[in-house]
Structure 1
Amino acid sequence: MKAAFIQNGAVEVGTLDDPIPGKGHALVRTHRCGLCASEAHFLHAGQNVIDLSQKFGGPYSALDPLVPFVPGHEYVGEVVDYGPGSKRTVKPGRRVTSLPIMRQSGSHSVIGFNNACPGGFGEYMLLDEDMLSEIPDGLDDNLAAMTEPLAVGLEHARRGLPTKEDCALVIGCGAIGLGVIAGLKLAGIAPIVATDYHADRRALALAMGADLALDPREISPYEPLADLGGRQVSLVYECVGLPGLLQQMIQSVAFGARIVVGGYCMEPEELFVFAAQNKRLTVQFAGGEEPQDMDLALRSIADGKIDVAPWIGATIGLSGVADALANMSSEGAPVRTIVDPRLL
């Protein structure tokens, strides 16, 4: 199969062996796949992620960066066949997405970050048939590919146990932060405050349902906000993942606030527990999405309750993956560039 793969810290485009499905595996022909910052992170610091997984436990510990691996975990594809002895949960010819997890044959692998589980930057994938979600007829492939990143934001949103009394703050308006805003809006939470350095991301935050979008260099989102009648935020979602940010939030939030940490920080974080104790803070660490979040994300996109179309930029072929990964953090870059692995 044709694929864009990572090997030894570089993106290459070439031909790899087609994956062969075993029991419980669905062989899927990829239609679309979103580019995520995690793929760019593996280009620059992949060995660090692997080392941390080996030290602290994690699904990336078995990845060999010297051997080609095909990234891509925000995908839509068409079921082609199944391995022998499979339940065949979705008919061949139907489109699917899934949690990017493989648990068949006793394994626990993240699709796209395992040498044996190629992701959506290749023409074919192996998906766990127990994780498949069938795409409704008529739903555009590009929109359907946003199911997984939206689901992560929805998971983070519910982890905070938001109530109608909360004033919520979302820090960072990439795909995950925007998904948190959408999840809060869907749950009827208001007001929602968003912060981001980039004006285009603040505009997207408002489009997703935020009531106020601030540049934190100009105004502190933790102080009583005049535009909200002097209210202060009580529930904060961190969707950036930079060292020092958690301690900054602890120092800045009001007494009794709750903090949900969703950003993946791969560096040590120094905390003054004393400061958090004095304010009686609650800190919740959020992880990846679960089946209920994938189901809600797909239904909300399909029925139009959450509009992810503004997230989507260009659709590229495999030859454009390297440049897109290199430029995805630049100002004005779309929230998601879409890869069609059938195109070179």
Structure 2
Amino acid sequence: MYAATLLNGEITVSELPVPTPGPMQVLVKTRLCAICASDAHFVTSAEAMVANSQKFGGAYAGIDLSQPIAMGHEFVAEVVEYGPGTQQQVPVGGRVTAIPGMVDEQGNVGIVGYYGHLPGGFAEYMVLFEPLMFAVPDEVSDELATLVEPLAVGLEHARSGNPTPEDVALVIGAGAIGLGVVAGLKKAGVQRIVVADLDPGRRELAVQMGATFGVDPRVTSPYGPQDAFDGAQVNLVYECVGRRGMLNQIIPGLGVGARIVMGGYSLEPEELMVPPAQDRRLTIHFASGEEYQDMALALASIADGSIDVRPWLGRTIGLSEVASAVAAMGDPSAPVRTLVDPSRP
């Protein structure tokens, strides 16, 4: 099979063997896969990510960077063949998406699209872990199905802050995860949502997702009393940028009892001045990836139209364009998600 693979910091098109499904695994043929900012992060920082996992524990610890890796973890695919011990609830030919986790019969944990032996959606075929697989209903197009996983991450982050309708929420960063947080807050009944982002186009997208308004933090502080909310101050903050120093920027602007959810992913150490956080009696929660309930909610919300992620979609490309499209992920003018069809060269 053909795949766009990462090796020595470069993405090229290469040929890989079609994987064989083991116990509880399913061989699927990729229909489409979205490019995530995490893919761009991995291209530039794979060695540091693996080293950190090996030092502190984490899902990247077992990655062998000397082997080509077919990335891509936001996908829709069709079932080709079931491995032993599977329930086979989705018929062969049926469409699926999945949490990109894998557990083999020895109990080893891996991530589809990050381990060399677990090719992701930038390859023509993948193996998925059946217990983490979801059938895609007919009313959800292939394009929208690729957005289930990134939306699920945003929904997980949103619920991690225990939002209530009384909260005044601030989302910092209007990438896919920040936009998903906005959608999750709206689902939780939060009506007062501010989004801070440097790019006007991304701020507009956030308003489309349900934010009350967006601000450029270089011009307007998003932390103080908000005239639009009768002077109410932000009390629930979601950091979805992942840059060193963000936490210490957030803390001084908040009042007593505020909550902070750290969803951004930074490999740089963060120095924290503890007394200002103590004085304000802040709660800081470190969010992570989606759980089963988040994937189920994301898929159901896209299917019934209660969350509209169509504005996230950009163009669909073939394997030969993956390298340039991944490199362009850091440009705020780029679409939230570019899609890859691995059957196209």
Normalised TM-score (structure 2): 0.98
Q: Can you give the 5+ residue segments of structure 1 that lack an aligned partner in the other structure?
A: none
Look up the match of 1:24.
24
Look up the match of 2:64.
64
Distance in 2 between residues matched to 1:293 and 1:84, nearest whole Å = 28
Please report how far the alpha carbon of residue 74 of structure 1 lies from its aligned counterpart in structure 2 after TM superposition. 0.3
Look up the match of 2:275.
274
Q: Deviations over 1:72-110 (max 9, x none)?
A: 000000000012333323211100001110123112111
SS at match of 2:330: coil
Look up the match of 2:259.
258
Please report how far the alpha carbon of residue 317 of structure 1 lies from its aligned counterpart in structure 2 after TM superposition. 0.6
SS at match of 1:180: helix
Please list every run of at least 4 consecutive aligned residues from structure 1 whose deviation after the TM superposition is greater than 3 angstroms: none
Whether the 8 Å CA contact 1:31–1:76 is kept in 2: the answer is: yes
Stretch moving more, 26-35 or 221-230:
221-230
Distance in 2 between residues matched to 1:284 and 1:84, nearest whole Å = 40
Whether the 8 Å CA contact 1:30–1:120 is kept in 2: the answer is: yes
Please report how far the alpha carbon of residue 253 of structure 1 lies from its aligned counterpart in structure 2 after TM superposition. 1.3
Distance in 2 between residues matched to 1:278 and 1:85, nearest whole Å = 55
Whether the 8 Å CA contact 1:192–1:211 is kept in 2: the answer is: yes
Look up the match of 1:90.
90
Q: Deviations over 1:172-228 (max 9, x none)?
A: 000000000000011111101101000000000000000011110110000111122
Look up the match of 1:245.
246
Q: How does 1:26-41 map to 2 (within 5 A)?
A: 26-41=26-41
Q: Can you give the 5+ residue segments of structure 2 that lack an aligned partner in the other structure?
A: none
Distance in 1 between residues matched to 2:66 and 2:8, nearest whole Å = 5
Look up the match of 2:313.
312
Q: Which amino acid aligns with 1:2?
A: Y
Distance in 2 between residues matched to 1:55 and 1:71, nearest whole Å = 23
Distance in 1 between residues matched to 2:84 and 2:328, nearest whole Å = 42
Q: Which amino acid aligns with 2:56?
A: F
Distance in 1 between residues matched to 2:93 and 2:104, nearest whole Å = 22
Distance in 2 between residues matched to 1:281 and 1:229, nearest whole Å = 23
Q: Which amino acid aligns with 1:101?
A: G
SS at match of 1:301: helix
Q: Which amino acid aligns with 1:291?
A: Y
Distance in 2 between residues matched to 1:119 and 1:97, nearest whole Å = 12
Look up the match of 1:74.
74
Please report how far the alpha carbon of residue 22 of structure 1 lies from its aligned counterpart in structure 2 after TM superposition. 1.0
Q: How does 1:1-344 map to 2 (within 5 A)?
A: 1-105=1-105, 106-344=107-345
Please report how far the alpha carbon of residue 331 of structure 1 lies from its aligned counterpart in structure 2 after TM superposition. 3.2
Q: How many residues align?
A: 344
SS at match of 1:31: strand
Whether the 8 Å CA contact 2:175–2:202 is kept in 1: the answer is: yes
Please report how far the alpha carbon of residue 132 of structure 1 lies from its aligned counterpart in structure 2 after TM superposition. 0.9
Whether the 8 Å CA contact 1:9–1:65 is kept in 2: the answer is: no
Normalised TM-score (structure 1): 0.99
Q: Deviations over 1:116-137 (max 9, x none)?
A: 1110000000000111100001
Distance in 2 between residues matched to 1:232 and 1:83, nearest whole Å = 54
Distance in 2 between residues matched to 1:102 and 1:88, nearest whole Å = 17
SS at match of 2:316: strand
Stretch moving more, 109-118 or 73-82:
109-118
Q: Deviations over 1:24-76 (max 9, x none)?
A: 11000000111011111111111000000000101111111121011000000
Whether the 8 Å CA contact 1:168–1:236 is kept in 2: the answer is: yes
Whether the 8 Å CA contact 1:117–1:125 is kept in 2: the answer is: yes
Whether the 8 Å CA contact 2:97–2:136 is kept in 1: the answer is: yes
Please report how far the alpha carbon of residue 247 of structure 1 lies from its aligned counterpart in structure 2 after TM superposition. 1.1
Q: Which amino acid aligns with 2:18?
A: D
Q: Deviations over 1:275-298 (max 9, x none)?
A: 100111000110000000000000
